[in-house]
Amino acid sequence: MKAFNSNRKASLTAGILYLLTFVSVPTLALYAPVREAGYLVSSLSDTPVLIGGILEIVVALTGIGTALALYPVLKWQNEGMALSLVGFRVLEAATIFVGVMFLLTVVALHQPGAGAEALVTGQTLVTMYDRMFLIGQSFMPAINDVVLGILLYKSRLVPRGLAVIGIIGGPVLLAGTFSAMFGLIGQRDPLAGLSAVLVAGFELSLGIYLISKGFRPSAIANLGPQPLNPLS
C-alpha cells in the first residue's frame, strides 16, 4: 500500500507539473512590445515582458520537476535513460533562464531610457532570445519527449498509444526546429507552430492522464529493482 501511494503521488505530481509547463503560452503576446523596433525609446510598459519572463522561469522549474517526479518510477525500466531525462530537463531549464536574461537586459536598458544608440543592442538581445528559444524550447523538448516516450512505451506505465505520440512528435518538432535554424521557414511561421503540435499534445495529454489515472497498476507490478542496462 505504501508503494502504491508513493507511485500515485509521483504520477499526480508529474501530471500537475506537466500542466504547469503550459503557463508560458501567453508569452507570444506578452513579448510583443519588446519586439518593436523602437521599444527602447518608447513609453511602452515593461510589465508584460516581466510577466512573460516570470512565466518562463516557472516553466523551467516545472520542467525539471517533471523529470524528478518520474525518475523514481522510470529508473526501474532503464536507469540510464531516466537519469538522462533529468539531465536533459536541467539543460532545457538552463537555456530558458539564459533566454529570459536576454529579455530582462532589454528591460533594464529601457527603464532608465538608454536612448536611440541602444536600439541595435536591444534588437540584438531579442534576436539572441529567439535563437536560444530554438534550443531551449524546441530542440530540448523534442529530445526529452523521445526519451520519455521510449521509457513509457517499454514500461507500459501509460497506454502505448500515448507514448507513441511523444516518440513521433519529437522528430517532427526537430524537423521544424532545424528548418527555422537554417532559415527554411520563419521561427514564428504557422508551419513552425504546427511542428510542435504533437509534442504539445503529448505533454498535455500525459499530464491529464497522470492526474486522472496515474500509472497503470499492471505495469507498476512488473517494474522493480533491476540492474542498470542501457540496452534494455
This prediction's pTM: 0.89
CA distance 109 to 115: 9
pLDDT tens digits for range 118-168: 788 889 999 999 999 999 999 999 999 999 999 999 999 999 999 999 999
Give the cell for residue 183: 532559415
Please give the pLDDT value at position 138: 95
Please give the pLDDT value at position 117: 73
Does any domain span residue 27? yes
Please give the pLDDT value at position 164: 98
pLDDT at 229 over 50: no
Does any domain span residue 101? yes
pLDDT tens digits for range 52-94: 999 999 999 999 999 999 999 999 999 999 999 999 999 999 9
Does any domain span residue 98? yes
pLDDT at 42 over 90: no
Q: Does residue 205 or residue 3 have the better pLDDT?
A: 205
Please give the pLDDT value at position 105: 93
Q: Classify each residue of 99-135 as buried b or exposed e, where b means 16 or more C-beta atoms within 10 Å of its C-beta.
A: bbebbbebbebbeeebeeebbeebbebbebbbebbbb
Mean pLDDT, the chain, rounded, equals: 90
Please give the pLDDT value at position 66: 97
CA distance 116 to 148: 47
pLDDT at 1 over 70: no
Give the count of domains, the chain. 1
Measured CA distances, 67 to 79, 86, 120, 148, 152 (Å): 12, 5, 39, 9, 13
Does any domain span residue 111? yes
Please give the pLDDT value at position 15: 97
User: Which residues constitute the domain of residue 184?
Assistant: 2-222
| 224 pLDDT tier (thresholds 50, 70, 90) | low
Element (H, E) at 212: helix 197-212
Give the cell for residue 61: 522549474
Please give the pLDDT value at position 38: 84
Does any domain span residue 232? no
Mean pLDDT over 15-44 rounds to: 91
Q: Does residue 223 or residue 2 have the better pLDDT?
A: 223
Does any domain span residue 154? yes
pLDDT at 231 over 90: no
Does any domain span residue 215? yes
Does any domain span residue 228? no
Whether the CB-CB separation of 100 and 107 falls below 8 Å is answered with no
